[in-house]
């Protein structure tokens, strides 16, 4: 305790329109230390970091003290603060696309920091910017200087942000959910980079995340936030192995145990062969048209009452596959549903089949028409498929369907906005179930929900599957969700299935290198699943 | 990029063609047709008309001949001003209208842009409040005082009461004669540009990439330079519409201030049922607006790298 | 005070939430619709004696105008005024003349706007000395009278009816065409959308006022035609907004869910797209109204719109502009009404837009 802390937060409060979003937050960061601020979305962790560098909108009120080497950043004049921002304390943000100016080249953006904050000349700045890009692992750094942000991938953009952040060799780096917007494998590499830079430059780091698992790799201390307060603090391993507060426990709830294998044979309900979807891209009158294949000759099969897990990163074509199976996007190839080829049916021919095959979507906010009563939303399928039904009978069925997903049927006159995310997802499930389908495509049904709610929804889906003998196509980027639900797994990359087979085989001994990197990123292991299961504590 | 420009130019040409065709056939739809005027036509004019319009031919061939004369820059004789061809009228009127329009647009951009930039800064200070108030006031005036109310009022104040500026007339573009027309034309555009600039600058300043600049401690001058570049884009894309609005306004302004520009000829032509003149005006005006839109389009692609690529990739 | 006693707290809160702009609009509309019933002047009645009369709440003729009228009467009769006594509603006067003043002579007098037909109270000297009772015609011109001597208040209100009616009908035409066109283009997407929007762009390139004037010129000046012409040009923005909304909404998962349920495109547009797009569309409609009203005034100002003796605000403002030297009220009152209407509509439209923007944000955020 002899050396004074690099950064000291003391009773920091942030209020917005009378509502406190950060409440009496105090902690310290020593030189070279990495601390993590962890909490669910809306817990105030990002606001804490932004408040430290006075980056919140002007109408937000802050009080308390954030001292950098003893100087209170909250009361420093703007000019003196600017000498600390970027030079001594740097920051990287969650969304690398919007954090960079879309109208300027990445080179000029890095060079601006070097020129204005480190006193480089224009020429020196560009040379140094190229070196920095090289340092953060961007290939052909000299050529990349003249690239615009939109020409880079998400991971590359985040690397550019990191290059900007370390340009002035700061003492501390605040990383605000730096990997949340990225795919798991990319995120893993960005984390490796941050760890490496920390060691090389002796950076102190505040790492902000909603993912406790992620934090475990980097941080030595953890501060768990909930509703604006720090509710639990301590050494990372201690907090992880012995969580005290319910909010901390909520962040590390266990996934439901993997489903037991069911070897008994069941009839095939769905078979897709050589399923392809291509979008035509218009390139103006003379640029010609090019085709982009988002789904490339996918073949799969699903048995009645079973779950096929489709896993892959964003852009892999998973959602397109789900929609193609239900004939919601035009696709080539054969789709057999219960032995019947539905690939060539038109919309009218499809209509009677639609009640047997339903879909549940990712975003529970976008999936319910905001102006309709939830009773009408749930019973819309009846309106289409059982037009003879009286209004009363429909209403009764809607109440039943809501009850089955544990939504109080008395609330069926309410509009979607009055329900929470998890409840809305239940309503969306009720809408699909009211028609008693035999096949349901679940498109990332839990990824917009917080961890605890995710588990509830997965349990509900499992119960419904058992009760009604449903077949699921479960699409997810999250291997843990897949592990909890799937009998078979298909791994997708760039529109193709790179590996598929029984769940135990894929998770236990993945053959494809891509599957292995996915596993590694998801379970933070280098081997198979066993390792993950034993690593609880 | 050149491909995109070429495509744009072709699209503009196609648009102009459609406008010409539309105005041509619309005229032919007129009950009684444009040429059975109650008044007897001068034989020379009648002869000219027949030459241009080939009334004896089927309609589609008439249209081809009309296109041909347009291509040669011949709009035919004026039915109203018997001694002039439409070309002669335009040769005189077009430079006047374009000069007025260009001056009004410059004034609108300078004043409106500055006003909007000042009004965009948020905060509790007196300066910020005054700036925001000025934009609000300008926007309100722009809405509730249309040109045809403002123009007579200014004539009354500056021309009749204080006698410091002429009430009307052109006098070969003497600067004193231009002040009131340009002010009348520019005023509503100032309101719109100020509002556009204010909202877009406010939006941009609230964007994460501006927060990034602040997080790196870059000076306010640098931050504003970044913000302005992005904030100027909505104003730029409004310019095409502004050109059309200015031409509309010039109709009123030229009528009220007695300026011999395109707008006034157009109104007089419309009232006197001078079909050749009105058709010629529509074609010229449409060509101007289309050309201006084209320029704006190309400038936008040059300023925003995302646009140039989304089309060619 | 009584308002808050009569209304429940919830209703009172609602009342307070109605923006001033909406109340002003209702006020103007009511005045224009019912006002002319109470102004006691037909809108086309000409008062030659009150040409360019200034605005005044005092009834005309006032004392000196009454004297002028009586003197004029005497001059016409070739008589001298012996005495004159005003009693509010009438003037008792004694005339003496070389000629006989009898009922026939009085009947032959030209009509006046200031005094009614005089009656003979007493007659002496064979009708050469008469006592006359001259009734005064009390008329009020709160906004003054125009260059033809017509009451400007009545004319402003009548013109308001025309301007508002054209505004509403033309906006309705624009709404119907625009929403149908935009929703179809947006929902169909692809080549259909590209083609339909290309057409919109082409019409955009034409300064609309030229188009409207050409339409009016070609098809003649007719009330109905004006709003069809305006509506037919002003639907473009509406189509763009409806298309934009449709494009955004059709990507929503609830539309995909409806398709997965087997709903037809028409049902999807009706049940899911139009209700959710209605907010921005209504807000834009309120912003379209002032534009249309302005456009009509503009056409009328140029003399291509509504015909005399009917008027719209644009016609009256054109009148005012012609008489600006000496009779400023002819410009002032119509411009005041037009400006107030435009301003109120604009502000109400922005208010609605803000509400719907908020509602939109509210939909995306988690309930607390």
Domain of residue B261, CATH code: 1.10.3720.10
DSSP alpha helices (H): ranges in chain C?
2-6, 9-17, 20-34, 63-77, 103-107, 152-188, 190-205, 208-219, 223-250, 253-261, 265-268, 274-301, 313-322, 329-364
Please check whether residues B12 and B161 belong to one and the same domain.
no
pLDDT of residue C205: 65
Q: How does pLDDT run across B258-297, given as a tens digit for each residue?
A: 999 988 888 888 777 777 888 888 888 888 888 888 888 8
Q: Two tokens at C82?
A: 């012996």
* 8 Å CB contact of C342 and B29: no
CA distance A423 to A429: 10
Q: Are A385 and A434 in contact (CB under 8 A)?
A: no
A470 occurs within a structural domain: yes
Of B148, B160, B244, the CB nearest to C325: B160
Q: Are B262 and B280 in contact (CB under 8 A)?
A: no
Please check whether residues B230 and B101 belong to one and the same domain.
yes
Domain of residue B48: give its range.
2-71
Please check whether residues B117 and B266 belong to one and the same domain.
yes
B63 occurs within a structural domain: yes
Please check whether residues B129 and B267 belong to one and the same domain.
yes
CA distance A518 to A529: 12
Q: Which residue of A has its CA nearest to C278?
A: A371
Of A359, A363, A370, the CB nearest to C260: A359
CA distance B289 to B284: 9
What is the C-alpha R_g of chain C?
A: 30
> Which residue from A237, A149, A137, A117 is spatially nearest to A194, judged by alpha carbons?
A137
* 8 Å CB contact of C259 and A328: yes
Q: Which of A292-301, A448-457, B194-203, B257-266 has the lowest mean pLDDT?
A: A448-457
> The tokens 């004074």 sit on which residue?
A4
Please check whether residues B113 and B258 belong to one and the same domain.
yes
Please check whether residues A318 and A445 belong to one and the same domain.
yes
Which of the 8 DSSP states describes residue A283? Answer: -
pLDDT of residue A48: 93
- B48, B68, B273 from B277: Cα distances, Å: 14, 17, 9
* 8 Å CB contact of B218 and A82: yes
Q: What are the chain A neighbours of C252 within 8 Å (beta carbons)?
A: 366-367
A240 occurs within a structural domain: no
A333 occurs within a structural domain: yes
Q: Are B312 and A284 in contact (CB under 8 A)?
A: yes
Please check whether residues A129 and A277 belong to one and the same domain.
no
Please check whether residues B235 and B164 belong to one and the same domain.
yes
Q: What are the chain A neighbours of B209 within 8 Å (beta carbons)?
A: 98-102
Please check whether residues B223 and B139 belong to one and the same domain.
yes
CATH classification at residue A484: 3.40.50.300
> Which residue from A375, C108, A276, C295 is spatially nearest to B249, judged by alpha carbons?
C295
Q: Are A162 and A136 in contact (CB under 8 A)?
A: yes
Domain finish residue from A169, A201, A224: A169
pLDDT of residue B239: 87
Q: Is B182 on the interface with C (CB under 8 A)?
A: no
Task: Report phi then psi at B226, rounded to 5.
Answer: -60, -45
Q: Are A496 and A297 in contact (CB under 8 A)?
A: yes
pTM above 0.80, yes or no: no
A408 occurs within a structural domain: no
Q: Residue A346: is its pLDDT beyond 70?
A: yes
Q: Alpha-carbon torsion A276, A277, A283, A285, what sign? A: positive
- Average pLDDT of span B148-170: 88
Task: Report phi then psi at C183, rounded to 5.
Answer: -65, -40
Q: What are the chain B neighbours of C214 within 8 Å (beta carbons)?
A: 23, 26-27, 270, 278, 282
B308 occurs within a structural domain: no
Q: Two tokens at C178?
A: 């625009």
CA distance A389 to A383: 8
Please list the residues that pair with C20 across neighbouring strands.
none
A166 vs A285, which has greater pLDDT? A166
Q: Which residues contact C212 (CB under 8 A, 6 or more apart)?
A: C229, C230, C233, C295, C299
B312 vs A57, which has greater pLDDT? A57
Of B23, B152, B245, the CB nearest to C214: B23
Please check whether residues B23 and B109 belong to one and the same domain.
no
Please check whether residues A165 and A276 belong to one and the same domain.
no
- Average pLDDT of span B11-40: 72
B289 occurs within a structural domain: no
A468 occurs within a structural domain: yes
A139 occurs within a structural domain: yes
Q: Are A368 and A428 in contact (CB under 8 A)?
A: yes
ipTM above 0.85, yes or no: no
* Total domains in the fold of chain A: 2
* SS3 track for C70-121: HHHHHHHHCEEEEEEEECCCEEEEEEEECCCCCHHHHHCCCCCCCECCCEEE
Please check whether residues A155 and A277 belong to one and the same domain.
no
What is the C-alpha R_g of chain B?
A: 24
pLDDT of residue A321: 93
pLDDT of residue A4: 80
Q: What are the chain B neighbours of A91 within 8 Å (beta carbons)?
A: 212, 215-216
Task: Report phi then psi at C124, rounded to 5.
Answer: -135, 170
Q: Are A438 and A470 in contact (CB under 8 A)?
A: yes
CB pairs under 8 A between B and C: 121
Which of A279, A351, A361, A371 to mutate to test binding with chain C, by most C CBs within 10 Å of its CB?
Answer: A371
Q: Which of A9-18, B103-112, B272-281, C174-183 has the lowest mean pLDDT?
A: B272-281
Domain of residue A288: give its range.
268-356+437-526
CA distance A237 to A535: 12
B282 occurs within a structural domain: no
Q: Are B20 and B70 in contact (CB under 8 A)?
A: yes
Share of chain B residues as helix, strand and coil, in percent rounded to the nearest 5? 80, 0, 20
Percent over 70 (pLDDT), chain A:
93
Q: Are C346 and B143 in contact (CB under 8 A)?
A: yes
Please check whether residues B100 and B176 belong to one and the same domain.
yes
Please check whether residues B8 and B103 belong to one and the same domain.
no
Q: What are the chain A neighbours of B303 within 8 Å (beta carbons)?
A: 103
Q: Which residue of B has its CA nearest to C329?
A: B153
Task: Report phi then psi at C56, rounded to 5.
Answer: -160, 140
DSSP alpha helices (H): ranges in B74-207?
86-107, 113-120, 126-144, 147-154, 175-205
Q: Are C226 and C299 in contact (CB under 8 A)?
A: yes
Q: How does pLDDT run across A224-266, given as a tens digit for each residue?
A: 998 899 999 999 888 888 888 888 887 776 556 666 666 667 8
Q: Which of A273-277, B306-310, C210-214 has the lowest mean pLDDT?
A: B306-310
B229 occurs within a structural domain: yes
**Can you tell me whether residue A299 is helix, strand or coil?**
strand
Banded model confidence at residue B19, pLDDT cuts 50, 70, 90: confident
Please check whether residues A461 and A347 belong to one and the same domain.
yes
CA distance A537 to B57: 94
Q: Are A35 and A239 in contact (CB under 8 A)?
A: no
Q: How does pLDDT run across A354-399, given as a tens digit for each residue?
A: 989 999 988 877 889 888 899 999 999 999 999 899 999 999 999 9
Q: What are the chain B neighbours of A283 within 8 Å (beta carbons)?
A: 311-313
Instruction: Give all strands (DSSP E) within A124-203, no chain letters.
Output: 172-176
Please list the residues that pair with A442 across neighbouring strands.
A360, A474
Banded model confidence at residue A2, pLDDT cuts 50, 70, 90: low
pLDDT of residue C76: 80
B50 occurs within a structural domain: yes
Q: How does pLDDT run across A24-48, given as a tens digit for each residue?
A: 999 999 998 999 999 887 788 889 9
In this structure, how many other beta carbons lie within 10 angstroms of the beta carbon of residue A295?
A: 28
Domain finish residue from A128, A147, A169: A169
CA distance C235 to C309: 30
CA distance B75 to A435: 69
B295 occurs within a structural domain: no
Count Cα atoms within 13 angstroms, Cβ side, for C6: 4
Which of the 8 DSSP states describes residue C269? Answer: I
Q: Residue B118: is its pLDDT beyond 50?
A: yes
Q: Two tokens at B139?
A: 């926007």
- Average pLDDT of span B37-62: 67
C302 vs chain B: nearest CA distance in angstroms?
7
What does the pLDDT profile of chain C (368 residues) look like in tens digits?
Answer: 333 334 444 445 555 667 888 899 999 999 999 988 888 888 888 888 888 888 888 887 777 888 888 888 888 877 888 888 877 778 888 888 887 777 777 777 777 788 878 888 787 777 778 888 888 887 888 888 888 888 899 999 999 998 999 889 889 989 999 999 999 998 888 888 888 887 887 777 666 677 777 777 777 777 777 777 788 778 888 898 899 888 888 888 899 999 999 998 888 988 898 888 888 888 788 888 888 888 888 888 888 778 778 888 988 998 888 888 888 889 999 999 999 999 998 888 888 877 776 554 333 333 22
Q: Are B63 and B205 in contact (CB under 8 A)?
A: no
CA distance C311 to C147: 14
Please check whether residues A163 and A279 belong to one and the same domain.
no
**Can you tell me whether residue A225 is helix, strand or coil?**
strand
- Determine the straight-line distance between the first and last CA of chain C, rounded to whole angstroms: 36
* Total domains in the fold of chain B: 2
pLDDT of residue A289: 53
Please check whether residues B174 and B38 belong to one and the same domain.
no
Q: Two tokens at A270?
A: 């769905």
Please check whether residues B140 and B229 belong to one and the same domain.
yes
Which of the 8 DSSP states describes residue B77? Answer: B
CA distance C156 to C139: 17
* 8 Å CB contact of B248 and C207: yes
pLDDT of residue B52: 60
Q: At what angle do helices A391-404 and A421-433 cross, to 10 degrees?
A: 120
- Considering A217-226, A520-529, C220-229, the range whose residues carry the highest mean pLDDT is A217-226
Q: How does pLDDT run across B188-231, given as a tens digit for each residue?
A: 899 889 988 988 998 888 888 999 999 999 998 899 889 998 88
- A162, A165, B204 from A93: Cα distances, Å: 9, 10, 17
> Which residue from A224, A225, A167, A220 is spatially nearest to A195, judged by alpha carbons?
A220
B20 occurs within a structural domain: yes
pLDDT of residue A533: 40
Domain finish residue from A148, A169, A190: A169
């Amino acid at each position: 305790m002899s050396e004074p802390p690099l950064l000291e937060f003391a009773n920091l409060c942030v209020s917005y329109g009378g509502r406190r979003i950060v409440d009496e937050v105090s902690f310290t960061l020593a030189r070279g230390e990495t601390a993590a601020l962890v909490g669910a979305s809306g817990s105030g962790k990002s606001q804490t970091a932004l408040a430290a560098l006075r980056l919140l909108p002007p109408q937000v009120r802050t009080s308390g003290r954030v001292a950098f080497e003893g100087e209170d950043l909250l009361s420093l004049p703007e000019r003196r603060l600017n000498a600390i921002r970027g030079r001594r304390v740097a920051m990287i943000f969650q969304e690398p696309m919007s954090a960079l100016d879309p109208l300027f080249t990445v080179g000029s953006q890095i060079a601006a920091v070097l020129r204005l904050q480190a006193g480089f000349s224009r020429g020196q700045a560009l040379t140094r910017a190229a070196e920095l890009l090289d340092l953060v692992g961007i290939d052909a750094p000299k050529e990349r200087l003249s690239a615009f942000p939109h020409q880079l991938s998400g991971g590359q953009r985040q690397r550019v942000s990191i290059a900007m952040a370390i340009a002035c060799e700061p003492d501390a780096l605040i990383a605000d959910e730096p990997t949340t917007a990225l795919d798991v494998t990319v995120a893993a590499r960005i984390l490796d980079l941050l760890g490496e830079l920390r060691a090389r430059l002796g950076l102190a780091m505040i790492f902000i995340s909603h993912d406790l698992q992620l934090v475990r790799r980097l941080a030595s201390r953890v501060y768990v936030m909930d509703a604006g307060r720090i509710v639990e603090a301590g050494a990372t391993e201690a907090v992880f192995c012995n969580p005290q507060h319910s909010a901390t426990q909520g962040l590390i709830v266990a996934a439901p145990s993997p489903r037991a294998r069911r070897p008994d044979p069941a009839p095939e309900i769905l078979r897709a062969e050589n399923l392809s979807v291509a979008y035509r891209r218009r390139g103006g009158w003379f640029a010609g048209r090019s085709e982009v294949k988002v789904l490339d000759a996918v073949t799969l099969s699903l048995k009645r009452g079973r779950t096929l897990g489709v896993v892959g990163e964003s852009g892999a074509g998973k959602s397109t596959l789900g929609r193609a199976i239900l004939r919601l996007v035009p696709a080539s190839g054969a789709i057999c549903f219960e032995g019947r080829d539905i690939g060539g049916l038109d919309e009218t021919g499809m209509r009677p089949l639609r009640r047997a095959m339903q879909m549940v979507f990712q975003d529970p906010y976008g999936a319910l028409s905001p102006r309709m009563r939830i009773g009408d939303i749930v019973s819309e399928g009846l309106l289409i498929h059982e037009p003879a039904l009286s209004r009363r009978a429909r209403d009764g069925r809607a109440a039943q369907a809501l009850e089955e997903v544990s939504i109080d049927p008395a609330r069926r006159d309410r509009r979607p906005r009055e329900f929470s995310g998890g409840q809305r997802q239940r309503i969306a499930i009720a809408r699909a179930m009211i028609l008693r389908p035999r096949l349901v495509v679940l498109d990332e049904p839990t990824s917009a929900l917080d961890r605890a709610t995710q588990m509830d929804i997965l349990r509900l889906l499992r119960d419904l599957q058992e009760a009604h003998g449903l077949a699921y196509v479960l699409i997810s980027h999250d291997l843990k969700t897949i592990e909890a639900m799937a009998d078979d797994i298909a791994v997708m990359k760039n529109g193709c299935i790179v590996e598929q087979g029984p769940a135990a085989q894929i998770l236990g001994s993945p053959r494809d290198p891509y599957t292995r990197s996915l596993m590694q990123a998801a379970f933070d292991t280098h081997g198979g699943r066993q390792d993950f299961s034993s690593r609880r504590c | 990029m050149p491909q995109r420009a070429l495509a744009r130019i072709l699209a503009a040409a196609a648009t102009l063609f459609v406008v010409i065709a539309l105005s041509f056939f619309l005229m032919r739809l007129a009950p009684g047709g444009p040429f059975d005027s109650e008044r007897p036509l001068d034989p020379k004019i009648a002869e000219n008309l027949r030459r241009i319009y080939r009334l004896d031919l089927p309609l589609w061939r008439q249209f081809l001949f009309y296109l041909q004369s347009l291509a040669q820059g011949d709009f035919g004789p004026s039915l109203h001003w018997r001694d002039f061809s439409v070309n002669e009228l335009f040769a005189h009127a077009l430079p006047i209208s374009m000069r007025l329009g260009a001056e009004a647009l410059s004034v609108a951009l300078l004043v409106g842009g500055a006003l909007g930039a000042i009004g965009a800064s948020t905060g509790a200070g007196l300066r910020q409040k005054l700036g925001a108030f000025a934009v609000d006031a300008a926007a309100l005036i722009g809405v509730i005082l249309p040109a045809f109310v403002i123009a007579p009022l200014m004539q009354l104040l500056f021309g009749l009461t204080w006698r410091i500026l002429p009430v009307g007339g052109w006098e070969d573009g003497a600067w004193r004669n231009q002040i009131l027309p340009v002010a009348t034309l520019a005023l509503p555009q100032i309101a719109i540009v100020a509002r556009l600039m204010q909202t877009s600058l406010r939006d941009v300043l609230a964007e994460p990439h501006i927060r990034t600049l602040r997080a790196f401690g870059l000076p306010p001058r640098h931050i504003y330079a970044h913000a302005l570049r992005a904030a100027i884009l909505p104003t730029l894309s409004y310019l095409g519409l502004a050109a059309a609005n200015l031409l509309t306004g010039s109709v009123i302004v030229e009528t009220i201030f007695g300026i011999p520009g395109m707008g006034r000829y157009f109104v007089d032509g419309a009232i006197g049922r001078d079909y050749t003149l009105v058709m010629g005006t529509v074609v010229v005006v449409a060509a101007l607006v289309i050309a201006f839109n084209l320029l704006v389009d190309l400038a936008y692609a040059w300023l925003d790298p995302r646009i140039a690529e989304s089309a060619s990739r | 005070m009584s308002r808050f006693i009569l209304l429940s707290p919830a209703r009172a809160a609602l009342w307070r939430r109605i923006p001033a702009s909406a109340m002003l609009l209702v006020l103007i509309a009511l005045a224009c619709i019912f006002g002319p019933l109470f102004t006691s002047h037909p809108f086309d009645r000409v008062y030659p004696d009150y040409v360019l009369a200034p605005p005044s709440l005092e009834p005309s003729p006032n004392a000196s105008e009454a004297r002028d009228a009586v003197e004029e009467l005497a001059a016409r009769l070739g008589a001298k005024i012996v005495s004159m006594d005003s009693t509010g509603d009438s003037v008792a006067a004694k005339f003496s003349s070389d000629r006989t003043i009898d009922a026939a002579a009085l009947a032959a007098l030209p009509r006046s706007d200031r005094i009614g037909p005089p009656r003979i109270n007493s007659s002496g000297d064979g009708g050469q000395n008469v006592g006359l009772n001259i009734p005064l015609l009390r008329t009020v011109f709160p906004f003054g009278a125009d260059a033809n001597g017509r009451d400007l208040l009545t004319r402003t209100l009548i013109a308001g009816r025309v301007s508002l009616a054209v505004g509403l009908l033309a906006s309705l035409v624009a709404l119907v065409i625009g929403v149908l066109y935009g929703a179809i283009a947006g929902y169909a997407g692809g080549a259909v959308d590209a083609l339909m929007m290309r057409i919109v762009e082409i019409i955009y390139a034409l300064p609309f006022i030229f188009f409207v004037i050409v339409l009016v010129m070609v098809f003649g000046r007719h009330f109905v035609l004006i709003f069809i012409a305006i509506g037919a040009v002003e639907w473009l923005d509406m189509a763009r907004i409806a298309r934009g909304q449709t494009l955004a909404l059709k990507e929503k998962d609830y539309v995909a869910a409806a398709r997965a349920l087997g709903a037809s495109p028409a049902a999807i547009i009706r049940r899911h797209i139009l209700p959710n797009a209605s907010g921005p569309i209504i807000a834009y409609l309120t912003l379209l109204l002032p534009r249309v009203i302005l456009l009509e005034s503009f056409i009328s100002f140029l003399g291509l719109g509504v015909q005399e003796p009917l008027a719209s605000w644009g016609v009256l403002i054109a009148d005012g502009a012609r008489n600006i030297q000496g009779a400023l009220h002819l410009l002032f009152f119509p411009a005041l009404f037009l400006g107030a209407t435009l301003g109120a509509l604009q502000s109400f439209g922005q208010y609605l837009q803000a509400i719907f923007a908020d509602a939109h944000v509210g939909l995306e955020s988690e309930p607390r």
